[in-house]
Amino acid sequence: MSDHGRDDLASALRQLAKRAEVPPLDPDRERALLEAFDATQQQKRAPAARAGVWRPAAAAALLALAATMAWVIVGRSVRPPAAPVAPLTTSEFVLWPGAAELPTFESGHLMRMEVPVSALPSLGLVPPATHAAVVQADVLVGQDGLPRAVRLSPDF
Amino acid sequence: MAAGEDPSDEALIVRIVSGDRDAFAALYRRHRADVYRFAMHISGSRPVADDVTQDVFMAVIQHAGRYRPERAAVLPWLLGIARNHVRRALDQRPTVTLPDDESAAGRTLVVEPDPLGGLARRQHVLALRRAVLALPVKYREVVVLCDLQELTYDDAATALGCAIGTVRSRLHRGRALLASRLRGTDQPLFRTPVARGML
């Protein structure tokens, strides 16, 4: 190729590059990515949290066993106070039960579905103050079709 | 970092690894267009470019910790990821949608002082775009990276995972193929002085 031809080609390619239109930022796509980011961070923290609590949990189990033994031996009835339950923010995603064991989340999509209020506690969600039997929830489904995280829809 | 100065790409990656959502959003906004253009030029398909762009940043969410600043700058790293996703998409979709300036998506309302000249320019751009898309992928990649996205040979080599010498030789061959294909389409790009500056 001559210098003249090379210059023309370079110039033409630059024009082609300039004409490549990029669609404007899509807020929905950005929001989906940020939600995936949040869910992934939550998933990453979960194993660390589990690793951090198993030893205290084992110690607590041993203590509970010792207390039970003492109760049986001494014959005293001691009812431990109910553990306080930390309220959850209903608008945030919580890890789907068992999702921490699933393959790493790589891609996915959000599905909005109706969930019985009675099933919310088993998902780690606090039932809202409503008389409705079902509420709407957003489920983050991974690349394998398995759920990774769930939240109450903002407009449940 | 001085007040008001944008953080570097590398600094954003460090913050992303530590779970900084805003850093991820900043990186996405900064390089979304670069990734989209690359995918668009290689695939010739807007849906593929959209999906690849999303996939690339999903990969960043998952694998930002794998980024090694001593090996590559962030943009070539992102384009390297994009390249893998585009290739996968092309394998799954052997037929590509050629961009058509007359399609509804490409049609824009403009006031042209020289309608015939504008038409000629569009035809040349379309011919060039088709010629780029007709190149074998390995040549198309280097032409897009070096000539359209103006990456250095070094960065292009990083994105493609090959040696700089390979980039040079593929670029030389790719340009020659492109020139010969354009000559074959009767586009006067290299035949008459009129072509110079026409695009």
Nearest C-alpha neighbor of B120 from the set A12, A144, A46: A12
Confidence of residue A112 (pLDDT cuts 50, 70, 90): confident
Helix (H) or strand (E) holding A152: strand A147-152
Is B88:B66 a contact under the CB 8 Å cutoff? no
Per-residue confidence (pLDDT) for residue A93, from 0 to 100? 78
Enter the DSSP assignment of B195. Answer: G
Is B80:B67 a contact under the CB 8 Å cutoff? no
Gap between the Cα atoms of B46 and B196, Å rounded: 30
ipTM: 0.71
Per-residue confidence (pLDDT) for residue B81, from 0 to 100? 95
- Of the listed ranges A63-72, A87-96, B49-58, B130-139, the least confidently predicted one is A63-72
Q: Which residues in chain A are closer than 8 Å to B81, comparing Cβ atoms? A: none
**Tokens describing residue B118:** 């504008």
Is A99:A148 a contact under the CB 8 Å cutoff? yes
Q: Which residues in chain A are closer than 8 Å to B33, comparing Cβ atoms? A: 22
Nearest C-alpha neighbor of A152 from the set A83, A87, A84: A87
**Tokens describing residue B7:** 């953080």
| Separation of CA A135 from chain center | 18
State yes or no: pLDDT of B58 exceeds 60: yes
Q: What is the pLDDT of residues A59-100, one digit of tens each?
A: 665 566 565 555 545 544 444 444 444 444 445 778 888 887
As a whole-number percent, the residues of chain A with pLDDT over 90 amount to 5
Minimal Cβ distance to A40: which of B40, B61, B190: B61
Is B105:B49 a contact under the CB 8 Å cutoff? no
A11 touches chain B (CB under 8 A): yes
As a whole-number percent, the residues of chain B with pLDDT over 70 amount to 75
Interface of B with A in 114-143 (CB under 8 A): 124-125, 128-129, 132, 143
Q: What is the pLDDT of residues A29-61, one digit of tens each?
A: 899 999 999 988 887 776 655 555 555 655 665
Gap between the Cα atoms of B39 and B86, Å rounded: 6
What is the value of pTM for the model shown?
A: 0.59
